[in-house]
Amino acid sequence: MELKTLCATYAPLSPHERLERLFEDFDRVLVTSSFGTTSAILLHHLHKVNPHHPVYFIDTTYHFPQTHAYRRQLSQMWKLNVIHVHPSSIENLDTLLKWTWTYAPDECCEVNKVEPMNELKSGFEVWVSGMIGRSTRQRGKLDIFAHDGSILRFYPFLDMTPQEAEWYRLVHELPRHPLEEMGYGSVGCTHCTQKGAGRSGRWKGKGKTECGLHNFKAG
């Protein structure tokens, strides 16, 4: 199916129906999770639609202890099949010794997130993202499906508003990330995450809003 046809076909469906349809239309589906503040929404849907499907977690080695605790909590609750993905140990150690995130955050993200993800996604047709809404200018360019090199990106929750996301979490009593109640609206690596509403606490003062995993070219 062409990109425009895919978007038009999936647009009228609910997020749950979109995921169901995706597993009917594609064989090689990649699901990843950062186990951040909104991750439970995608993982809860996946638990209902395809409970044994693998969930890949990029362990940058810089995650908060609370993120690992949250990952364990959700994994145990829904019996998630979580597979850890790691960056190159040598390059990861180099970023640690040089404190690369302090002067070259893009390079740090490239080594610890983008490169291991590029290796992983080469074996899949479509990559599911749990991104909620079009919260930034770059994300506003997206549609339900987007090209990302040789793979398709799939955003089943792209048209979900923050209010709808909050309603979903309340109705289904989804556990919250432990750092959320401490004022973290979005959670990534320890060195580049501060308290703040939405994504305002990510890479604060570094002129950066994304880690590089998402390709924001529309179409």
**What residues are paired with 83 via a beta bridge?**
56
Residue located via tokens 């309340």: 170
Report the DSSP pairing between strands 151-154 and 81-85.
unpaired
What the block records as the tokens of 156 is 């089943």
Buried-state track 86-103, b at ≥16 Cβ within 10 A, e below 16: ebeeebbeebeeeebbee
* Angle formed at CA 39 by CA 34 and CA 44, multiple of 5 degrees: 130
Is residue 133 classed as helix, strand or coil in its secondary structure? coil
SS3 180: helix
Does residue 211 have an active-site annotation? yes
Contact 156, 128 (CB under 8 A): yes
Residues 186 and 193: beta-carbon distance below 8 Å: yes
The separation between CA 208 and the C-alpha centre of its own chain, rounded to angstroms, equals 17
Answer whether 18's CB lies under 8 Å from 144's CB: yes
Given 108, 109, 192, 211, the catalytic residue: 211
- Catalytic amino acids? 211
